[in-house]
Structure 1
């Protein structure tokens, strides 16, 4: 860019723009062996893989940053893929403080969800978290990318909104068919179009 050229005005005023923060899930149990040997992703033991201890440490670090920077006060909505590791990351980073049974709110996550050995997480003062199928990872073949039933998730993550998911069981994941890169890109574009329409509808 020519350093002497005048900066062109933005298409929309900044106060009318939305800022999107993309957060990858923290380390899952499948990542540890999968990074060493790609074939490990075929291990059925990693079905809907949960976070490792290091993964939860990564969650805690990001949570501290989000809260200490004041960013948590600017988050209107958290969109998460309906997989254990992504839901754990979302509620761990953006959720409220530790849940108290006497609180008049549902927990975002019950204690020890996904064998995490963590206390329940409150939804108090947390932005809404909604699960959306379109932003899931590469679909098919790898058990770690297959989700459990919505009814089971609703028990583990009571205050997460699963209303946008049509099927209780995972009908998108196929045991013998891996989603092509073209199909993955098309699904990503569909998600972005859905999100753009969502923000247009909101005042």
Structure 2
């Protein structure tokens, strides 16, 4: 499949999206062994495990070390306990102390976490959005609590975009289809362009990410398509996207890679290695450009179960002009 060459777009048309799957939840422990375990009422709106909180702490240290925490303009979270805990744990402030000028992002022991309260000071604004929830229906772990319950646990998160206190989207005997979830994901992507913020962190779910991203990249090399869909399934992993608005809503994905190896001329070591593996057809359009991709500092080894790895992938969403 042919890939188009490099393109230039105005910077003001760009948004950077940092996609994060929540850390390990209680339902994941048994659900990964037996899928039917997710049907148990025991896992209603499942909270994070202790390992999940370790994953949150690891990612929090990483986003602070690399400076990402200072660049985020907005944090969007799915309104389920495991995503809200992950969001405030990774991108929130330090430990909370009582004061009148700032509410805590999370109260102490929220969701029986045993964790201290988290401050909203020196952190970006947080909003909860139902469009980026996991599949609706059937699985109790994917049913949310009342918004009023969340407002008590997460006082500084904005829940005003959620229209009903009770979860009217979750049905006990009807599971949302993958086609419906994909359509919701694309609606969410379009909704992001109503926001003024330029750099946004989105804390959501593996199913939502997989089916939404699977709608992109059909006009790319199959290797790129595979990268788009298969690299966000590990717990508490963060990947970076650049979304471009060309006043249309039809998108096409082209992979390009942010890496931390040293440059050799204009061709990174990673590209040279790919050429040796016979992937020249996919990478050739990028090798012809003189643009240098910015190196991104990130861990070179996996930390616990967080699967950070030596690189970030940055998927450039290029809108197809009409």
TM-score, normalised to structure 2, is 0.59
Q: Determine whether 1:85 maps to 2:82.
A: yes
| C-alpha deviation, 1:16, in angstroms | 5.0
Choose which of 65, 68, 76 in structure 2 pairs with 1:68.
65
**Cα distance change of structure 1 residues 182 and 39 upon mapping to structure 2, 3 Å threshold:** same
Task: Give me the CA root mean square deviation.
Answer: 1.9
SS across alignment from 2:56: helix
**Alignment correspondent of 2:127:** 130
**Cα distance change of structure 1 residues 166 and 124 upon mapping to structure 2, 3 Å threshold:** same
Choose which of 3, 8, 11 in structure 2 pairs with 1:10.
8
| C-alpha deviation, 1:159, in angstroms | 0.1
**Alignment correspondent of 1:29:** 26
CA contact (8 A) 2:31 2:37 kept: yes
Choose which of 171, 180, 185 in structure 2 pairs with 1:183.
180
Aligned ranges for residues 163-174 of structure 1 at < 5 Å? 163-174=160-171
Aligned ranges for residues 115-126 of structure 1 at < 5 Å? 115-126=112-123
Distance 1:42 1:175 in 2: 10
Higher relative contact order (CA 8 A, sep 6+): 2
Aligned ranges for residues 77-116 of structure 1 at < 5 Å? 77-102=74-99, 104-116=101-113
CA contact (8 A) 2:73 2:197 kept: no
SS across alignment from 1:97: coil
| C-alpha deviation, 1:55, in angstroms | 0.2
Instruction: Tell me how many residue pairs correspond in the alignment.
Output: 197
| C-alpha deviation, 1:8, in angstroms | 3.6
Distance 1:65 1:71 in 2: 8
Moved over 4 A (4+): none
Distance 1:16 1:150 in 2: 34
Distance 1:65 1:115 in 2: 25
Which is higher, the Rg of structure 1 or of structure 2? 2
| C-alpha deviation, 1:41, in angstroms | 0.2
| C-alpha deviation, 1:198, in angstroms | 2.1
| C-alpha deviation, 1:29, in angstroms | 0.1
Distance 1:111 1:103 in 2: 17
5+ residue gaps, structure 1, are none
5+ residue gaps, structure 2, are 199-322
SS across alignment from 2:110: coil
| C-alpha deviation, 1:200, in angstroms | 8.6
| C-alpha deviation, 1:197, in angstroms | 2.4
SS across alignment from 1:198: coil
Distance 1:195 1:83 in 2: 20
Distance 1:8 1:138 in 2: 36
